[in-house]
């Protein structure tokens, strides 16, 4: 054994560099240079970016500086994933609390017009340490219930900070305070659009996938049509549906009474349903095609009919693949539902486009942040369900 090998084995693990940690450290350093918070005299004027020493009082700024330095050190060293996970969550929690303190400290007493919003530095730091948390979670290879538990704990922590008023002085919460009833109304609409379109697509798409599995000559034609629909830009598809649905509302008795019209919820729901079909149909077909032939042979040997084999053997074995398609569609539709606001469909996109029109970026965030959070939560939960379904089928 060479001297270099002996030295390499004798080197403590913490002395080695984590390759991804180097990138995380560089991103975090960039975050400390950029403005931590942005102060505006009112909601629409250009703001003044303030770095950490100017956005926070001396003690909180020092605490945050020490924590960031510690986080960078943890990211750089080849430590256990659990240490990196805890360190990342501590840093993210500190950033959330201190951005709220920065807003409280920067707004003059009695000034109802001033606005403070997170600056680029805050978002870059959040990205850096969220990347460290994500990497640690991937290395830990946690089970599905553990991931769901962590998601629930993070949601509970953020909910506690909101309930405690930590973020009340941030501009996004001021926008919410002015629009709370409208926010919850649009939230309900967004959920109806995203989850409703997926539910309808499941009801139509899974049987269609079964039909394509049974009748091979139909596969190419149907899948090609669904592929063409998928290539149409979302805004264009929303627009294309306005004229035919307006005609239906005007000429079909009772159509207008049940909510069908050229603009609004109906065309948005139809468009999202159309986008949902391809992943669900194709995943149903792929899942059924990939059912092991030995499983079908065993079912035939037991005297099962075609229907019994489909319901008792093929669909249960294909279920994890079908669920993967549903996951893709749900996350996709949560984002696409934002565009529905352009044709009066409602949802969180209402705030996004109002904010763009008024040059009020905090109003944009009021629509964008819950959309991103909802999509992320849906992805984590459905990923866990896919893994549980796959494990259960392998155990059979």
pTM: 0.84
| Residue 85 CB-half CA count within 13 A | 15
C-alpha to C-alpha distance for 71 and 84, rounded to whole angstroms: 8
pLDDT in tens, 147-166: 999 999 999 999 999 999 88
- Quote the domain boundaries for residue 155: 3-170
Q: Give pLDDT tens digits for 28-38.
A: 999 999 999 99
Domain count of the fold of the chain:
2
Task: Give the per-residue pLDDT at 15.
Answer: 59
Please indicate, yes or no, whether residues 194 and 144 belong to a single structural domain of this protein: no
**Residue 262, pLDDT score:** 63
pLDDT, position 12 = 54
Looking at residue 311, its pLDDT comes to 82
In a domain, 328, yes or no: yes
The verdict on 223 and 152 lying in the same domain is no
Supply φ then ψ for residue 119, to 5 degrees.
-90, 180
Give the pLDDT confidence score for residue 84 in this predicted structure.
Answer: 93
Q: Is 175 contained in some domain?
A: no
Both 24 and 70 in one domain: the answer is yes
CA angle 357, 162, 148 (to 5 degrees): 100
Asked whether residue 300 is assigned to any structural domain, the reply reads yes
User: What is the reported pLDDT for 256?
Assistant: 66
Please tell me the predicted confidence (pLDDT) of residue 357: 84
The distance of Cα 58 from the centroid of its chain, to the nearest Å, equals: 36
Spatial separation of the C-alpha atoms in residues 163 and 155, rounded to whole Å: 12
- The angle that helices 349-357 and 361-395 make with each other, rounded to 10 degrees, is 150
H/E stretch holding 89 reads helix 81-106
In a domain, 11, yes or no: yes
pLDDT of residue 160: 93
Residues of the chain with pLDDT under 70: 1-15, 247, 249, 251, 254-262, 264, 392-396
Q: Do the domain assignments include residue 73?
A: yes
**Domain end marker among 135, 170, 205:** 170
Domain boundary at 131, 148, 170, which? 170
């Amino acid at each position: 054994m060479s001297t270099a090998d002996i030295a390499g084995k004798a080197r403590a693990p913490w002395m080695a560099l984590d390759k991804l940690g180097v990138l995380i450290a560089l991103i975090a350093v960039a975050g400390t240079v950029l403005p931590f918070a942005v102060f505006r005299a009112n909601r629409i004027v250009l703001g003044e970016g303030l770095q950490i020493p100017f956005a926070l009082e001396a003690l909180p700024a020092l605490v945050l500086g020490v924590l960031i330095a510690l986080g960078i050190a943890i990211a750089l060293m080849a430590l256990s994933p659990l240490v990196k996970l805890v360190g990342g969550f501590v840093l993210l929690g500190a950033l959330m609390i201190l951005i709220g303190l920065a807003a409280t400290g920067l707004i003059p007493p009695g000034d109802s017009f001033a606005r403070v919003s997170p600056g680029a530095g805050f978002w870059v730091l959040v990205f850096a340490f969220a990347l460290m948390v994500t990497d640690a979670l991937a290395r830990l290879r946690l089970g599905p219930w553990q991931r769901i538990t962590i998601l629930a704990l993070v949601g509970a922590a953020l909910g506690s900070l909101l309930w405690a008023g930590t973020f009340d002085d941030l501009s996004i919460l001021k926008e919410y305070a002015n629009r709370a009833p409208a926010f919850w109304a649009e939230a309900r609409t967004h959920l109806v659009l995203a989850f409703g379109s997926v539910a309808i697509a499941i009801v139509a798409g899974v049987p269609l996938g079964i039909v394509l599995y049974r009748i091979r000559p139909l596969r190419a034609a149907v899948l090609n049509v669904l592929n063409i629909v998928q290539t149409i830009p979302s805004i264009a598809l929303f627009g294309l549906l306005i004229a035919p649905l307006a005609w239906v509302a005007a000429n079909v008795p009772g159509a207008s009474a049940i909510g069908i019209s050229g603009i609004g919820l109906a065309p948005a729901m139809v468009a999202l349903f159309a986008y949902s079909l391809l992943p669900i149909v194709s995943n149903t077909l792929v899942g059924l095609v990939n059912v092991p032939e030995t499983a079908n042979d065993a079912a035939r040997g037991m005297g099962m009919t075609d229907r019994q084999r489909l319901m008792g053997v093929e669909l249960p074995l294909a279920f994890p693949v079908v669920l993967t398609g549903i996951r893709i569609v749900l996350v996709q539709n949560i984002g696409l539902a934002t565009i529905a606001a352009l044709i009066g469909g409602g949802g969180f996109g209402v705030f996004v486009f109002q904010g763009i029109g008024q040059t009020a970026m905090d109003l944009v965030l009021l629509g964008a942040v819950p959309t991103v959070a909802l999509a992320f939560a849906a992805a984590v939960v459905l990923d866990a369900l896919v893994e549980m379904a796959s494990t259960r089928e392998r155990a059979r």
